[in-house]
């Protein structure tokens, strides 16, 4: 379990850094007036896969009883579930296939928000 906990911690650092980078990249693209393209959507998808891997590792830790040391484990779980569903919700319900510059702004702020969610999830686990 210690190895899974270590990977979960390292992957959490990967998640916040990745979402910060693609969020800033998205802002740069939006300011330049560019629309959403496949490169940006692919990066967002990779970020979502990072959150899925985090969720799988977190579920293994939770089922193994390793979450007993977390003071606010319910809040940590809530941040994890929110991180899993927020980006697909925005893409499927709000944007609905829109690939204009407006969609680039929305995705940029969405990924920056997920950067903040990843940081909050880390602080609730400490």
Query: Under DSSP, is residue 88 helix (H, G, I), strand (E, B) or coil?
Result: helix
User: What pLDDT score does 67 carry?
Assistant: 74
Taking alpha carbons only, the member of 75, 80, 87 closest to residue 23 is 87
Mean pLDDT of all residues belonging to the chain: 94
pLDDT digits (tens, 9 = 90+) for 57-94: 999 999 988 776 788 888 999 999 999 999 999 999 99
Tell me the C-alpha distance between 1 and 57, whole Å.
10
User: What pLDDT score does 73 carry?
Assistant: 85
DSSP code of residue 100? S
User: What pLDDT score does 71 carry?
Assistant: 82
Q: Is the pLDDT of residue 2 over 90?
A: no
Tell me the C-alpha distance between 32 and 35, whole Å.
9
E strands, the chain, where?
none
Tell me the C-alpha distance between 122 and 116, whole Å.
10
The model's pTM is 0.93
Contacts of residue 43, Cβ cutoff 8 Å, sequence gap at least 6 = 22, 25
pLDDT digits (tens, 9 = 90+) for 34-62: 999 999 999 999 999 999 999 999 999 99
Q: How many degrees, rounded to 5, is the angle at CA 56 between CA 51 and CA 58?
A: 90
Tell me the C-alpha distance between 79 and 114, whole Å.
10
């Amino acid at each position: 379990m210690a190895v899974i906990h270590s990977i979960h911690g390292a992957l959490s650092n990967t998640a916040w850094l990745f979402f910060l980078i693609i969020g800033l990249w998205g802002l740069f693209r939006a300011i330049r007036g560019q629309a959403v393209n496949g490169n940006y959507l692919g990066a967002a998808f990779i970020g979502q896969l990072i959150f899925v891997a985090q969720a799988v590792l977190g579920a293994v830790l939770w089922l193994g009883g390793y979450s007993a040391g977390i003071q606010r484990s319910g809040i940590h779980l809530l941040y994890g579930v929110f991180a899993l569903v927020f980006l697909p919700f925005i893409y499927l319900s709000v944007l609905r296939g829109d690939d204009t510059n407006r969609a680039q702004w929305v995705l940029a702020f969405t990924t920056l928000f997920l950067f903040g969610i990843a940081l909050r999830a880390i602080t609730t686990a400490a």
